[in-house]
Chain A
């Protein structure tokens, strides 16, 4: 059993509105899986079905080998869940709230709670209502991680975290994966998960557009290179290279867009006295937007 989450033709209908359409998703164990899509794509709907809070209209889903409808309790025992809009009781302190959740779960090691609180620099004695948005979110994160579940299902977990805490959080996700556990997290911003996800799935209007490893996405990504030559840029030679999409010339400098590997382009350019090469960051956001808007 090496699949953490598997959905079969999973569909959810809200009255006349199809929020999810025949979704077939497979999340391998021991990975960080980014579930991406614009607002309203159906991410929260999928996650609430997986967590057992709403039921599918048709199709089904298995989490850690258990059916999410028939074996709901088994699933819930093994997952950590962070809702999209996390809310705790305003008058309880962080410690009181987490104790309550720990009692309801059973078998939580309190030192784990303290360790996480320290790591995220969170004062557990403060009442929930007095906390900033980011600190509230941290309570939600601790609540999801405190029992060291096999699978974490996190709905837009990075929202509200400042950059420093976001980095700490991504580190926590990596450690969780290296521990052999699985993280399924949603986001509407690729750059939030790109640094940590092994695989991403892109969802649009309730339909899965693509599932790819981040490496694969990167390979397909457009790279922009600036090649400066000692003399005029050999445009015709460069145009012949594999993957070249577009070239514009500015004096001795050629601006080239390449899809995938740049090896062929550099080989073609090498004999022509290159003075300088500037390679720009791979723009994953651009492909992401491409998938978002494609076929719409």
Chain B
């Protein structure tokens, strides 16, 4: 487990990942358990019709009469993205800036391996952790769908989980890169959170305000959530998220070798 920076980082995450996985399972389970009673509500359509039109667009309420639509609205367009962002940003900021503030980065950097390799292994460990949560989400969604007859296919669950993984990875990579460049964990968390909040506002405004609509595809939230995310298939927009995360990692890689590392005190 201590063979290199990658495995050591995974070892550090073992408990955290366990707790997050349980949280995801419970959340998906509770929400899915609601579905049978929601489906059987006779005046569901009327209820949705009374809601403001904009809200309907944001949470895709029209589709709420189907199982995938219900979970999209209830979980996959806000709750789960927030969970994956919180995890990704927290992990990303701790990755390098956290080690620098704790004074443990010094000794990694005086080892005869380059800073770029340390950053790369940290980024891969982040990706592995977010993918682990994504797999958990996939398993939770498919099993709960079977138990409560939500009617979500494996393919639909896969695209939904993938969208969450991509969102978490992109903003996690942003936090990691900001931490690599700036060396401060709180700053890295702040920058990534602010960027995510801004992107969500752009996405939401794009749905509700016509003049903002053309800009909406620029938001990673739009790239991840449009057309689903449960049942979105494999939209080309996902490539933007992949590209973003890769680009941020490439920016972060030379950062440690190129700047002074703060002394611990």
Contacts and interface: CB of A to CB of B under 8 A. Distances in A.
B102 A87 contact: yes
A89 B261 CA distance: 18
B8 interface: yes
Interface residues of B, number: 24
Given A54-B260, A96-B2, A104-B5, A83 B106 contact: yes
B113 A85 contact: no
A79 B110 CA distance: 9
B265 interface: yes
Contact of B112 (A55, A73, A85, A100): A73
Nearest to B114: A73
Nearest to B106: A83
A99 B1 CA distance: 10
A276 to B, nearest CB: 51
A85 B263 contact: yes
Nearest to A81: B110
Interface string A62-80: 0000000000110011010
A101 B107 contact: yes
The size class of the interface chain A forms with chain B is 20 to 34
Contacts of B264: 83-85, 87
B3 interface: yes
Contacts of B257: 72
Contact of A100 (B8, B114, B263, B265): B8
Given A44-B263, A83-B263, A85-B264, A104 B109 contact: no
Contacts of B111: 76, 101, 104-105
Do most interface residues of chain B lie in helix, strand or loop, or is the interface mixed?
Answer: loop
Contacts of B109: 52-53
Most chain A Cβ neighbours within 10 Å, of B107, B108, B111, B260: B107
B260 A100 contact: no
A104 B260 contact: no
Nearest to A140: B107
B105 to A, nearest CB: 9
Contact of A89 (B104, B106, B263): B104
Contacts of A77: 112
Interface in A15-45: 44
Contacts of B103: 83, 85-87
A53 B112 contact: no
Given A76-B110, A104-B111, A88 B104 contact: yes
B4 A103 contact: yes
A96 B8 CA distance: 10
A143 to B, nearest CB: 7
Contact of A54 (B104, B261, B265): B261
Interface string B232-265: 0000000000000000000000000100110111
A83 B107 contact: yes
A101 B113 CA distance: 12
A99 B8 CA distance: 11
A89 B106 CA distance: 12
A169 B155 CA distance: 63
A103 B3 contact: yes
B80 to A, nearest CB: 29
Contact of A53 (B104, B110, B113): B110
B260 A55 contact: yes
A81 B108 CA distance: 11
A103 B108 CA distance: 11
B265 A85 contact: yes
Contacts of A101: 107, 111
B104 A104 contact: no
Contacts of A54: 260-261
Given A85-B103, A87-B104, A104-B4, A52 B265 contact: no
A48 to B, nearest CB: 6
A101 B5 CA distance: 10
Which of A53, A72, A96, A143 gathers the greatest number of chain B CB atoms within 10 Å? A53
Contacts of A143: 107
Nearest to B118: A104
B104 A100 contact: no
Contacts of B110: 51-53, 76, 79, 81
19 contacts: A52-B110, A53-B110, A53-B260, A72-B257, A76-B110, A76-B111, A77-B112, A79-B110, A81-B107, A83-B264, A84-B265, A85-B103, A87-B103, A88-B104, A96-B2, A99-B2, A100-B8, A101-B107, A104-B4
Given A44-B263, A77-B112, 17 more contacts: A52-B110, A53-B110, A54-B260, A73-B112, A73-B114, A79-B110, A83-B107, A84-B263, A85-B103, A85-B264, A87-B102, A87-B264, A103-B2, A103-B4, A104-B108, A105-B111, A143-B107
Minimum-distance CB pairs A-B, first 3: A87-B103, A100-B2, A54-B260
